[in-house]
Amino acid sequence: MSELNYLSLFSRLRNLEDQMAKFDDEVNSLKTDLDAVKADLATASTGVAGLQQQISTLNTTVANLQTQLQSAGLTSDQQAALDAAAAEADSLKASADALAANFPAPTPAPTPTPAPTPAGN
């Protein structure tokens, strides 16, 4: 093999090695970004679940209040305010449920296998 062909081949191998190193860097960067997105999604899912629990507690409180106050002979304004509170609690629950549907619990992503190191390193 001529020296010129050897140098050309060596140059091409060096370029390929550089490109593979850049690719490895980009894959590692992508993995870091994916881990950050998974963490953000887990936080959002937890926040939505907490919000749903708070709204559920609010709905229970409003329902209990309605039951207790119905026998007290409320004025029409008081009854309207209580009905509005119950409707608002139901609306909040529906909104939280719709939000939760957009933030399903994250599933663990498969761990990528590391790229083999080129021979000679």
DSSP assigned state of 103:
S
1 pLDDT more than 60: no
120 pLDDT more than 60: no
Within a domain: 42: yes
Within a domain: 58: yes
Within a domain: 14: yes
Could you give phi then psi for residue 79, rounded to 5 degrees?
-65, -40
Q: What is the pLDDT of residues 11-67, one digit of tens each?
A: 888 888 888 888 888 888 888 888 888 887 777 777 777 888 888 888 888 888 878
Q: What is the mean pLDDT of residues 99-117?
A: 67
The contacts of residue 49 (CB under 8 Å, 6+ apart) are 100
Asked if residues 62 and 85 have their Cβ atoms less than 8 Å apart, the reply is yes
Within a domain: 46: yes
> pTM for this structure?
0.47
Q: What is the pLDDT of residues 16-29, one digit of tens each?
A: 888 888 888 888 88
Within a domain: 120: no
Number of folded domains that form the chain: 1
Domain of residue 61, residue span: 3-102
